[in-house]
Amino acid sequence: MRILLTGKNGQLGRCFQDTLLNCQHELFAFSSTELDITQRDKVFEITRRITPDIIVNAAAYTAVDKAESEPDKAFLVNCTGVKFLSEAASDLGVPLIHISTDYVFDGEAVEPYTLNNTTDPKSIYGKTKLSGEKVIRSMMTDHIILRTSWVFSEYGNNFVKSIVRLGTERNELSVVADQYGCPTYAGDLAEAILNLCEQYEKNGRLEWGTYHYSGDNPTSWHGFARAILVKANRFQLIVNFPKLNVIGSEQYKVAAERPRYSVMDLSAISRINLMPSNWCKALDKVLIKLNE
Ligand SMILES: NC(=O)C1=CN([C@@H]2O[C@H](COP(=O)(O)OP(=O)(O)OC[C@H]3O[C@@H](n4cnc5c(N)ncnc54)[C@H](OP(=O)(O)O)[C@@H]3O)[C@@H](O)[C@H]2O)C=CC1
Ligand SMILES: Cc1cn([C@H]2C[C@H](O)[C@@H](COP(=O)(O)OP(=O)(O)O[C@H]3O[C@@H](C)C(=O)[C@@H](O)[C@H]3O)O2)c(=O)[nH]c1=O
């Protein structure tokens, strides 16, 4: 099948390209310079030229703190750009697979967020991603929105790479222990998306709608950092194990408020034949790649 991918140089974009390496599908992958999703004419020109069977949107504005000082830019990519993609997909009559975030929730829950829970993002990034979800739902039926969380991979910038770098540079790290969520390997998310594309190719339809897709084992950022350091030490990426201090969110000064708890209920993904990401196993894989 013909798959059009936006945001090809991001974590998900790169993992998705890797996932398709040994497949028969035709992938048409675009970077932000080749296809800026905020340029409506370009979106229509390219989608009409490629005539894909399905569109996968891996493009997004993901700088959570920076978004607080440039909300218009974040909104333009995460909502207006998504609107243009929805319009173009509708124009061609093809489905759109889109990715959203756990940061659409307020973080006040004490048990996993279900699809019925109210959204109430605290950060500009979360607000713009929620607007993107809403615009898709208002414009087209044939879509899948996968809300994911704490994405890491061997590519780009992410928490795993930050902790490995800090672990090699410093004797001591301090990481927040009062924010809970589920790490997700971008490679597992990429496989899940390919699985959806192939189900669509086979059946001509999917159970359209919004789903939660993440790792299945909740932890705190501190717990995640500890797992990263232990494994990085085992794989000899870090020689001297740094001291890992527990801190509260108020001690880590950042522009954007993060949810205290953003664990998502994953039960609905079995309806679309997906399994959660095994982030512990994937972490080994990523650290081995970082060591090559
Ligand atoms: N990273 C995370 O922890 C999480 C991510 N998500 C969501 O998952 C998806 C994938 O995230 P991830 O791969 O980590 O993100 P990245 O930040 O790694 O990649 C995003 C990509 O989008 C591209 N992009 C930015 N603006 C535009 C634009 N106007 N037109 C086209 N492309 C653009 C960027 O290009 P360039 O580099 O040139 O700017 C970049 O390559 C996103 O929707 C994100 O919101 C959800 C939860 C957690
Ligand atoms: C590097 C570092 C971070 N932290 C804290 C800050 C923050 O509360 C938390 C996570 O830090 P980051 O800034 O790396 O992660 P952040 O950018 O908040 O990650 C988010 O990205 C967006 C795109 C999403 O959609 C979310 O699901 C989530 O993955 O860890 C520490 O306490 N100590 C540290 O040394």
The tens digit of pLDDT for each residue in 113-128 reads 999 999 999 999 999 9
Q: Is the Cβ atom of 258 under 6 angstroms away from ligand 2?
A: yes
Nearest CA to ligand 1 atom 24: 59
Kindly state the tokens that stand for 89.
Answer: 């997909």
Q: Label residue 22 by pLDDT band (50, 70, 90).
A: confident
pLDDT tens track for 234-255: 999 999 999 999 999 999 999 9
Closest atom of ligand 2 to CA, residue 158: 14
Write the residue with the smallest CA distance to atom 30 of ligand 2: 221
Amino acid, single-letter form, for residue 168: T
Cα separation, 259 vs 246, in Å, equals 18
Give burial (CB, 10 Å; 0-12/13-18/19+) of 31: middle
pLDDT at 173: 98
Look at the domain 2-154+185-214+263-277 and name its fold.
Answer: Rossmann fold (3.40.50)
Tell which residue, 71, 62, 80, has the closest CA to residue 11: 62
Tell me, in angstroms, the distance from the centre of ligand 2 to residue 167's CA.
Answer: 16
Pocket of ligand 1 (CB under 6 A): 6-7, 9-13, 31-32, 35-38, 58-62, 77, 81, 99, 101, 129, 148-151, 156
Burial of 202-223, coded b for 16+ CB within 10 Å and e otherwise, reads eeeebeeebbbbbbeebbbbbe
Residue 286: half-sphere exposure toward Cβ, Cα within 13 Å: 32
- Measured from the Cα of 262, ligand 2's closest atom is 27
Q: Which residues are catalytic?
A: 125
pTM of the model: 0.98
218 close to 181: Cβ distance less than 8 angstroms: yes
233 lines ligand 2 (CB under 6 A): no
